[in-house]
Amino acid sequence: MNIGIVGIGALGSLIGFQLSGADADQVWMLGSWPDHIAAIQRHGLACEHNGNVAIRRVNITDTPAQIGACDIVLILVKANQTLRAAEQARTLCHSTTLVITLQNGVGNREILATTLGDERVVQGVTRLGATMLAPGRVRFAGIGPTFFAATDGQRTRLEDLIKRFQAAGLPSEPRTDVEQLVWSKLVVNAGINALTAVLRIPNGELVARPPARELVAALVREAAAVAAARGTSLSGDPVEQTLAVAEATATNYSSTLQDVLRGQPTEISAINGAIVREGARLGIPTPCNRFINDLFGALDYRR
């Protein structure tokens, strides 16, 4: 099974590292970060986990034509890069290739499907935590399951990928509840990402600091109310689940904090901003999410 990974940030690098352990020749990473690409090509990709560091040879390039056709293409770019990623993914596809989004936010699958066709695009959700430490070096910052919400026609083709993930130490399973998966992660991201970026703290500090915990709860309750208004059920207590994720990934720097520290565009418009827009459409007030979304704009975090 040939796998292409479009997006070489922390999560794309972590998944590329794990999947390359069994057969590196079948895995390629595609991105546009020159320092990261050069470091991996020269020295391999280093992954830190529980204080230990391992280095693996990983295929990486900034040129889609160097990769060729893939059976699976994983999309792990920022939400504002999805359209460009769709065009890149098109060059990696053969007639039965599946393209799977594991991105944050909502609407990414629809953008990919517009370019690539609805029948080949799969919605995925991952709860892995990863922190980029330096070019060529990533930290495995939190273990969590990866879900693939396939249609009946896609499920058989996904079985081998799920086995590959599991063999690589990445728990995964098929699911059918697409909307619940996407919104469950969106609610968690709404409570964690922006706050960790503004406060410049790792995820676990949101649990350790009572005022931060209250802010998390306020953001999450609004997001859950919007989900309920649109008819999307969330299992369990969303506040407790968000705090549990923050605690399970305590040392992780959220992807939004990593973006801010590197001076890169963030995805807050596709996370808290998406909740504000959907709340406005449904008549659900979202003052906390609106404030945090507007705050990012005021701070010029290039939403």
Q: Does residue 87 come out as left (phi exceeding 0), alpha (psi in the -120 to 50 range) or beta?
A: alpha
**If DSSP codes are grouped into helix, strand and coil, which group holds residue 70?**
strand
- Tokens 């320092």 correspond to 35
Looking at the fold, whether 67 and 190 belong to one and the same domain comes out as: no
Looking at the fold, whether 188 and 225 belong to one and the same domain comes out as: yes
Neighbours of 42 (CB within 10 A): 8
Res 192: pLDDT: 98
Q: How far is Cα 61 from Cα 84, in angstroms, rounded to an integer?
A: 16
Note whether 274 and 107 are within 8 A (CB): yes
Q: Per DSSP, what are the bridge partners of residue 131?
A: 139
CA angle 106, 37, 32 (to 5 degrees): 45
Looking at the fold, whether 172 and 250 belong to one and the same domain comes out as: no
Domain boundary among 125, 150, 176: 176
Q: Mean pLDDT in the chain?
A: 93
Res 42: pLDDT: 97
Domain boundary among 123, 153, 176: 176
Q: How far is Cα 28 from Cα 156, in angstroms, rounded to an integer?
A: 23
Whether residue 303 is contained in a domain is answered as no
Looking at the fold, whether 213 and 160 belong to one and the same domain comes out as: no
Looking at the fold, whether 67 and 109 belong to one and the same domain comes out as: yes
Looking at the fold, whether 116 and 237 belong to one and the same domain comes out as: no
For the ranges 9-13, 238-242, 245-249, the lowest mean pLDDT is seen at 245-249
Res 155: pLDDT: 79
Q: How far is Cα 29 from Cα 39, in angstroms, rounded to an integer?
A: 13
Rounded average pLDDT over 236-244: 95
Looking at the fold, whether 131 and 217 belong to one and the same domain comes out as: no
Looking at the fold, whether 209 and 285 belong to one and the same domain comes out as: yes
We report the CATH number of the domain holding residue 212 as 1.10.1040.10
Rounded average pLDDT over 129-138: 94
What digits encode the pLDDT tens for the residues 3-58? 999 999 999 999 999 999 878 889 999 999 999 999 999 999 999 998 899 999 99
Number of domains in the chain: 2
**Who has greater pLDDT, 301 or 57?**
57
Whether residue 200 is contained in a domain is answered as yes
Res 152: pLDDT: 76
Q: How far is Cα 179 from Cα 32, in angstroms, rounded to an integer?
A: 31
What digits encode the pLDDT tens for the residues 263-295? 888 999 999 999 999 999 999 999 999 999 999
Res 303: pLDDT: 46
CA angle 192, 173, 47 (to 5 degrees): 60
Catalytic residue numbers read 185
What digits encode the pLDDT tens for the residues 73-126? 999 999 989 999 999 999 999 999 999 999 998 889 999 999 999 999 999 999
Domain boundary among 141, 176, 211: 176
We report the CATH number of the domain holding residue 106 as 3.40.50.720
Range of the domain at 233: 179-298
Whether residue 8 is contained in a domain is answered as yes
Tell me whether residue 61 is exposed, middle or buried, using C-beta atoms within 10 angstroms of its C-beta: 0 to 12, 13 to 18, 19 or more: middle
Whether residue 161 is contained in a domain is answered as yes
| pTM of the model as a whole | 0.89
What DSSP designation does 204 have? Answer: T
Looking at the fold, whether 157 and 229 belong to one and the same domain comes out as: no
Res 301: pLDDT: 62
Percent of the chain with pLDDT over 70: 99
Res 177: pLDDT: 82
* pLDDT of 193 above 90: yes
Looking at the fold, whether 112 and 170 belong to one and the same domain comes out as: yes
Looking at the fold, whether 124 and 159 belong to one and the same domain comes out as: yes
Note whether 221 and 190 are within 8 A (CB): no
Looking at the fold, whether 151 and 200 belong to one and the same domain comes out as: no
Give the number of C-alpha atoms closer than 13 A to the C-alpha of residue 178, restricted to the C-beta side: 15
